[in-house]
Chain A
């Protein structure tokens, strides 16, 4: 089959690789109809996530048709149309049973490696380095789906691929980012990053009752999407001296009640602070550049919540812990517990409360994946989200 392979830093290629095979009884094989490129894939592409191997099949946002099931899968049959959550979870362990699916205790065969780096391991995930298990991903014609009796969501209502595809990751992720803010009436929520995850976080914050959402980015076309499609007020961080001061002033010095970091480890910025982080990252003295996170912490109202859904890989510098402590801030974070949100968000899509297709700007065949990565990375041609059809 054809699959998008990681060939080294800054290089992906669509190559011929062996078709997936059932390796466990609870596996299914899915023939992929639609798949997408995620901001998280860019961290792999740019070489910031360790333990990638040349030839790894990428992709963790995909859906399609079941073509084979293992003996242990009773709830799916050949021909079923499914969306697959990007985190792999067994459904049996304590964390799965307590709705912490991205912390599944069994789905990561490389948990030992992850424990060495992080103390404890998180779950397995598709196409996301060997730290999350070394599972082949879904930017391909077919994928093997472990624990297929637990993860995949059947789509039986005639909704199109584009309407439901993002239930695999970015819609639940944006939603969880907003949910972690524990939004109360009258709340102002600030969202760093107007990528697809940021846009879904804005939309979700309103669905959960926010009074006002302020979105921060530097690409005017993305800020326009945040305003026009999601109803946010916007700040272009290249046009203000200080994002923190701007937000504090916009809220008459209260600060946003909660702040969502939908940027992650490769934040961009200006001046000395950005140079400092870029240099430390290049020298491998710091694995992540937490520029957006620092601003979110500083801007947040006393006693407010900072919700971190942008991905971080390792260590960061100069996180103002004193601010967090003295101002009673709460930090919440996590890889999305996708399984928790798929069904309720499908309901919201069916009811017309949210239209996930709003983020799609580019559609291409799987064979053009390399071009898709390039356009999405460089934010060319007003690119917000690339969907590949296999």
Chain B
């Protein structure tokens, strides 16, 4: 869980850096996309590796949840929450939301089979490069698409707000002095990831970035 979780965090960090290039004009993200595609087989190796990561993470996540609920089959008449958080209790649900989103996201921007009117923009060349920028922009001008992305990123935020401090603890990197700091930094980092990802659809939706 922790190993794959951590690697997925690495992935979403790199993915975020790439995506934030939409804030640097039409060419920035188009160059980035062209570069990625020019890598050919390497891109495919990465894609497969990431899908494998997701598959392992999800399989363990489901197994963990099943094992844990069978270890605690009975519920108390009253149970006070002492320290845990909503985020920690809903890891499997936020995880599954991310999974559904992931499939949708791949159909949308990778396979180009949903929202075809918006994604068809990628077929036109701008400065000799496929126009990924307009594809993204047109998509996020739709309130529906933007809202779907924002909801999914809220789930990601919740998942990370528990997950980040959790993997530090699972790797045994904590001690009595670091505990609270690690938890606080984990939450701040989760807020950062959440806001940074959400900024992209909202920037287009509210025409802060224009296509």
The answer to whether A and B come from one shared complex is no
Binding site for A on B (CB under 8 A): none
Binding site for B on A (CB under 8 A): none
